[in-house]
Amino acid sequence: MDINALYSQWLENATADPDLIKELEGIRDNDEEILDRFYRSLEFGTAGLRGVIGAGTNRMNYYTVCQATQGLSDFLNRHFENPSIAIGYDSRIKSDYFSKEAAKVLAANGVKVYLYKELEPTPCLSFAIRYFKTSSGIILTASHNPAKYNGYKCYNSNGYQMTDEEAGETYEYIKKVDYFTGIKTMDFDEAVEKGLIEYMGDEVIDAFLDEVVKQCVNPDVVKASGLKVIYTPLNGTGNKPVRKILDRIGVKDVYVVPQQELPDGNFPTCPFPNPEIKQAFECALEMAKDIQPDLLLATDPDCDRVGIAVQDGNGGYKLMSGNEVGAMMLNYLLSQKKEKGMLSENSVAVKSFVSTDLAEVIAKKYNCTFKNLLTGFKYIGELITQLEAQGRADDFVMGFEESYGYLAGTHARDKDAVVASMLICEMAAYYKAQGKSLAQVMDEIYDEFGYYCNTVSSYTFEGASGMEKMAGIMDSLRNNAPESFAGMRVTVADDYKTSVSTNVADGSTRVIELPKSNVLAYTLTDGNKIIVRPSGTEPKIKAYITAVGKDKAQAQAIADKLLAEADKLMK
């Protein structure tokens, strides 16, 4: 079917949500706008669906959500005798609406639904899957994307996002579902009355927080520290659970940014609600002028990521990177567990392979086994599940990604900004008692292990032409392997799509024992690296730079040269 025919079909049939017809009427005869909405269908992958909210096959709307849910229902009924599912949602526009419509489709297909009664963090959804032992899970969220986006993340029975095989099979079912004639649904109240949809009670969140608080290693240090914190949930889901967990461990001086306290999918004070960027902290930094806190915390809308700003020693505050927080948290947990005799002889820590190598050096000091996995927290969740099956759950210390996602404990199988916020505050209180800020602690780590400058540069390619450009860049790199970057020779070239690692000096190869992924990595002289990968959820290519030096100035100079090289590659 051609694009104009698709447009006409939707204009005639997309009556379930009046907003869709209004939008479609508004773009009549606008070929560019019609093309953008219908040139492709949102593809269901291991990250589920993600797209701009609106009308069309390339948008998040009632029909794309329900088509995906019908396909998921067919998958679950194929593999489970009495399938069940947990559903959560965040503060984004239409997240609550999409969650209820998805529940109605699942119920109509005989799948028992456990639905959170209000918005909750993504890790709470992962926890609920295991709490109720459901077959699957869905959360309606677009994480830290701008307000115009929403998404649909799908989990398996282990509580982590679907594997490639599971997502691939589900997508085959989805593609068979007609948007307008193939979706089963039923009345929501009727489904509740029949027990097909059940709201989760407060006891689920209480049980989640009970598990989170078990991850404290110095449970009494916070109460005596007088720690002062400014917190912003960025108009998302973290407001209640983060404040509850901080109260439990004794952080009493918590000041919440009022403009960003309550749920609001428009994110009026922060168009990019991403704790990785300074803009997310602007309101908190303004408050800090009067309050002078020890620490600023920001969680993204679905509260699976957390960013921090700490006192810089000059009366101001500096933002710490995800790599720095991950390395510092690992150093804190390993050192404290070892000191208290709590560190397992077979301890394991893990990170995504694009995250800082500093963590691996720290782990080595404490004889902790270290694993590098593909980007995607599901791989960390999969590792935890394997450890648990071996009776080794207590061996897991923590896992993290450079994109501000951390998990300590095995209560969830996804990154968790609730437990991370708690441990960051505990860590800050512990070092405060020694007269140190977290910035000073990080400097001490660099002094001991060397300075690692890790930088990520994102290149956006919007629309149909953008997807072609991204594919062309990756093909060009793959077919014309660079011999050097910024004058630094490539020593090892890794292609995760072909699973081949090549030693450039002698041409020898080895098999990369990880799932295939469209990623290219180049190890350079002196431990420097550049990794290139398309985002799995956004129209972007990301370049991850690692520069190692004896101090910050030397490492930054190397990073700047590598970033300039990455810029050239993306043109």
* Strand positions, DSSP E, 197-305: 197-199, 228-232, 253-256, 295-299
The runs of H, that is alpha helices, within 354-454 are 358-365, 377-389, 417-432, 438-449
- Which residues, at least 6 apart from 404, have a Cβ–Cβ distance to it below 8 Å? 275, 276, 300, 305, 306, 307, 322, 325
Give the N- to C-terminal CA distance of the chain in Å, as an integer.
Answer: 34
Conformational region of residue 486, where left means phi above 0, alpha means psi within -120 to 50, and beta covers everything else: left
Between CA 562 and CA 483 the distance in angstroms is 14
The number of residues making up the chain comes to 571
Phi, psi of 356 (to 5 degrees): -60, 135
Angle, helix 322-339 to helix 417-432, in steps of 10 degrees: 70
Rounded CA-CA distance 26/24 in Å is 5
Residue 194's identity, in one-letter code, is K
Give how far Cα 377 sits from Cα of 163, 385, 403, 406, 549, Å.
11, 12, 11, 9, 29
Burial of 205 from C-beta contacts in 10 A (0-12 / 13-18 / 19+): buried
CA 308 – CA 1 distance, rounded (Å)? 49
Q: How far apart are CA 116 and CA 199, in angstroms?
A: 6
Give the start-end residues of each E strand in 267-361: 295-299, 306-311, 317-320, 348-352
Q: Please, are residues 146 and 538 in contact by the beta-carbon 8 Å criterion?
A: no
Q: What's the token pair of residue 546?
A: 């690692």
Neighbours of 163 (CB within 10 A): 17
CA-based torsion, 372, 374, 378, 382: positive or negative: negative
- How many CB atoms are located within 10 Å of the residue 252 CB? 12
Token pair recorded at residue 361:
């050096």
Contacts of 431 (CB under 8 A, 6+ apart): 437, 438, 440, 441
Q: How far is CA 250 from the centre of its chain?
A: 28
Torsion of CA 244, 247, 252, 256, to 10 degrees: -20
Asked if 355 is an active-site residue, the reply is no
3-class secondary-structure state, position 358? helix
* Calpha distance 100→17 (Å, rounded): 13
* Residue environment code for 264-302, b if the CB has 16+ CB neighbours within 10 A, otherwise e: bbebebbeebbbbeeebbbbbbebbeeeebbbbbbbbbb
Please give the C-alpha separations between residue 383 and each of 45, 158, 378, in angstroms, as whole numbers: 20, 11, 9
Catalytic residue among 41, 126, 143, 403: 143
Strands 295-299 and 306-311, sheet pairing: antiparallel
d(CA 550, CA 449): 9
Residues designated as active site: 143
